[in-house]
C-alpha cells in the first residue's frame, strides 16, 4: 500500500531539475519526461521512481513469463526496461554479436518513492514503510539548484571523449548492399540496419550529459535510467506501446528529414518528407506489421489506423509517425500484449523474423537496450513504453560509452543517403559527448 499526497508547484520546470538532481543518491532511478510535448495520449508531464523495494533482473530465457509473474504479484507501480534481445524469448533467435555494455536483458523494480507531475500538480506515492520521509524529502528537494548550467561543456574527468566507429563507411555501404540483395531476392521487404559508435576507457557525468542531451532535443519520451553502475540517457521521440484500459496504442516512426533555421526551407523539408514515396512506403510497411502484431491480442475488428504518415517536428529532425490502435479483452494479460508485439516493428523490419535474422548476421554489435523499450506498469495493469533510440548507454565500471543509430533499408534505399541519415540521427549524441558546437 502507498501513502499518496498532492502538492501545488509554482514552477514545475524548475522543480523537475531539483527532483532529478536529488534522485542521484539512489542506486535505482527511472525518470521519464515528456518535455511538455503536446500528445494525444498522455498521462503525466514527468515521472520519477527511485529506491527499489523489489526488483527482477534476468536474461531473455523465459523473460516475459518472469515479468508477467512479477507484474501480477506486485500489483503496484513497476518501472524498467525490455532489451532488444528478448526477441530470443519470443522466437527461435540468437544474439551472438559483441557486447561491451553488459546490461541485463530485462530489468524492472518497484520503487519505494514515486513522483508524478502533471501541469502544476505533484502527486507523491510512498510505500508505507517510508512514508514518514515524504515531507523531509520534499524539503530537501527544494534546496537543490533551481537551474542547470549548460552554457559550457564540462570536460570529462577521464579527458575528452573520443568516439570510434564500430564499422567504417565503406563497410557500412557493403552491408547495406548485402541487405538490398536480400530485399531484391524477396527474403524481406524492409529491415532496420544499425551501427554502433563507442568510446573505451572514457567516463562522463551521467546527469550533466542527460541534461545536455535533453536540452538539445527536448523529445516527448526522454529517459534517465540508473541501475547501479549502468546508465541510459535517452532523447527518444518514439512511443512503442501504451495501454489505457482495454485500448492499446502503437506509434511507430519511420521517415526522417533534416530541419532548417530558415522557416520556408524548413516547411518545405517537412512537406517533402510527407510526400516522399520511399519514406511513406517505409512507414506503411511498418504500419501493416504493427496491425498484424496487434491483431494477435485484439478483439476482432478493433485494429484501426488513427493516423497515417503524419509529420511531426522535433528540435533536430522532422519525423513521420503513424498511430495504430486496438481493443483487447479485459482478461488479456498486459505482458502478453507486449510479448506479441516485441520487438517493435520500426526497429526490426518485415517480415519480422527474417528481418531479425538478417540484422543479426550483418550488424557487428549486440543491440542490448538499444531498440528495446523503457517504461512502466501501473497497479491496474496499464502501461506506457518508449523506443530506446537517440540514446547514450554507459557502463561506469567498464568506462564504456555507446550510442547506436540506424535506419530502414528498403528496395529504394541509397547506401550513401542511408549513411548520411545515420550521421544526422547521431548528431545530438556526438555533440553532447565530444562537446562539438
Name the residue among 42, 92, 51 with its Cα closest to residue 221: 42
Mean pLDDT value of segment 148-152: 68
Mean pLDDT value of segment 191-197: 96
- pLDDT at 224 (0 to 100): 98
Catalytic annotation, pick one of 190, 196, 238, 418:
238
% of the chain exceeding 90 in pLDDT: 89
Active site residue 238: yes
Cβ-Cβ contacts under 8 Å for 254 (sequence gap 6 or more): 279, 282, 283, 285, 286, 320, 322, 346, 408
Residues 15 and 192: their CA atoms lie apart, in Å, by: 38
pLDDT tens for 91-116 read 999 999 999 999 999 999 999 999 99
Q: How many residues does the chain have?
A: 437
Query: Rounded to 5 degrees, what angle do the CA atoms 248, 251, 252 make?
Result: 130
Q: Is the confidence at residue 149, as pLDDT, over 90?
A: no
What does the block give as the cell for 217? 532535443
Q: Is the confidence at residue 310, as pLDDT, over 50?
A: yes
Average pLDDT in the chain: 94
Residue 27 sits in a domain whose CATH number is 3.60.120.10
Q: Is the confidence at residue 151, as pLDDT, over 90?
A: no
Cis omega (within 30 of 0) for bond into 351:
yes
Q: Which domain holds residue 409?
A: 2-434
Cβ burial of 308 (10 Å; 0-12, 13-18, 19+) is middle
pLDDT tens for 353-402 read 999 999 999 999 999 999 999 999 999 999 999 999 999 999 999 999 99
First to last CA, the chain: 48
Q: What is the DSSP letter of 173?
A: H
Catalytic annotation, pick one of 66, 112, 254, 339:
254
Q: For residue 22, what are the CA distances in angstroms to 98, 281, 395?
A: 35, 46, 21
Name the residue among 394, 412, 375, 388 with its Cα closest to residue 194: 388
Q: Assign 152 a pLDDT band (cuts: 50, 70, 90).
A: low
Active site residue 16: no
Q: Is 183 helix (H, G, I), strand (E, B) or coil?
A: helix
- pLDDT at 414 (0 to 100): 95
Q: Is the confidence at residue 117, as pLDDT, over 60?
A: yes
pLDDT tens for 59-69 read 999 999 999 99
Q: Is the confidence at residue 148, as pLDDT, over 60?
A: yes
Q: Into how many domains does the chain fold? A: 1
- pLDDT at 382 (0 to 100): 98
pLDDT tens for 28-75 read 999 999 999 877 788 999 999 999 999 999 999 999 999 999 999 999
pLDDT tens for 198-233 read 999 999 999 999 999 999 989 999 999 999 999 999
- pLDDT at 437 (0 to 100): 40
CA dihedral over 65, 374, 154, 115, signed as positive or negative? negative
Residues 265 and 282: their CA atoms lie apart, in Å, by: 24
Amino acid at each position: 500500500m502507498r501513502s499518496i499526497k498532492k502538492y501545488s508547484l509554482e514552477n514545475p520546470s524548475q522543480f523537475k531539475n531539483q527532483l532529478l538532481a536529488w534522485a542521484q543518491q539512489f542506486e535505482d532511478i527511472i525518470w521519464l519526461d515528456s518535455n511538455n510535448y503536446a500528445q494525444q495520449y498522455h498521462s503525466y508531464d514527468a515521472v520519477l521512481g527511485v529506491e527499489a523495494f523489489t526488483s527482477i533482473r534476468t536474461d531473455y530465457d523465459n523473460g516475459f513469463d518472469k515479468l508477467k509473474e512479477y507484474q501480477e504479484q506486485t500489483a503496484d507501480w513497476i518501472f524498467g526496461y525490455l532489451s532488444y534481445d528478448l526477441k530470443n524469448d519470443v522466437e527461435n533467435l540468437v544474439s551472438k554479436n559483441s557486447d561491451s555494455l553488459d546490461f541485463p536483458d530485462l530489468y524492472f523494480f518497484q520503487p519505494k518513492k514515486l513522483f508524478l507531475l502533471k501541469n502544476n500538480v505533484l502527486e507523491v506515492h510512498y510505500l508505507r514503510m517510508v512514508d514518514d520521509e515524504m515531507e523531509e524529502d520534499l524539503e530537501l528537494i527544494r534546496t537543490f539548484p533551481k537551474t542547470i548550467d549548460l552554457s559550457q561543456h564540462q570536460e570529462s574527468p577521464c579527458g575528452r571523449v573520443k568516439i570510434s566507429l564500430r564499422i567504417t563507411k565503406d563497410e557500412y555501404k557493403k552491408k547495406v548492399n548485402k541487405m538490398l540483395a536480400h530485399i531484391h531476392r524477396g527474403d524481406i521487404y524492409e529491415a532496420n540496419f544499425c551501427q554502433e559508435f563507442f568510446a573505451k576507457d572514457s567516463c562522463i557525468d551521467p546527469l550533466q550529459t542527460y541534461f545536455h542531451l535533453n536540452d538539445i532535443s527536448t523529445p516527448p519520451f526522454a529517459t534517465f535510467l540508473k541501475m547501479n553502475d549502468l546508465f541510459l540517457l535517452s532523447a527518444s521521440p518514439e512511443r512503442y506501446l501504451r495501454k489505457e484500459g482495454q485500448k492499446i496504442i502503437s506509434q511507430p516512426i519511420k521517415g526522417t528529414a533534416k530541419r532548417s533555421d530558415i522557416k520556408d526551407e524548413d516547411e518545405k523539408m517537412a512537406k517533402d518528407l510527407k510526400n516522399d514515396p520511399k519514406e511513406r512506403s517505409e512507414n506503411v510497411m511498418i504500419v501493416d506489421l504493427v496491425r498484424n502484431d496487434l491483431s494477435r491480442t485484439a478483439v476482432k475488428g478493433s485494429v484501426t489506423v488513427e493516423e497515417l504518415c503524419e509529420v511531426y517536428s522535433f528540435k533536430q529532425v522532422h519525423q513521420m509517425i503513424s498511430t495504430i490502435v486496438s481493443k483487447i479483452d479485459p482478461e488479456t494479460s498486459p505482458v502478453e500484449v507486449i510479448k506479441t508485439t516485441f520487438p517493435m516493428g520500426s526497429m526490426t523490419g518485415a517480415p519480422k523474423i527474417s528481418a531479425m535474422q538478417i540484422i543479426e548476421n550483418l550488424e557487428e554489435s549486440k543491440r542490448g537496450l538499444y531498440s528495446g523499450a523503457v517504461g512502466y506498469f501501473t497497479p491496474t495493469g496499464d502501461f506506457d513504453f518508449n523506443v530506446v533510440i537517440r540514446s547514450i548507454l554507459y557502463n561506469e565500471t567498464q568506462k564504456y560509452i555507446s550510442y547506436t543509430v540506424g535506419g530502414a533499408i528498403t528496395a529504394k534505399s541509397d547506401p550513401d543517403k542511408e549513411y548520411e541519415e545515420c550521421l544526422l540521427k547521431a548528431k545530438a549524441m556526438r555533440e553532447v559527448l565530444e562537446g562539438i558546437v
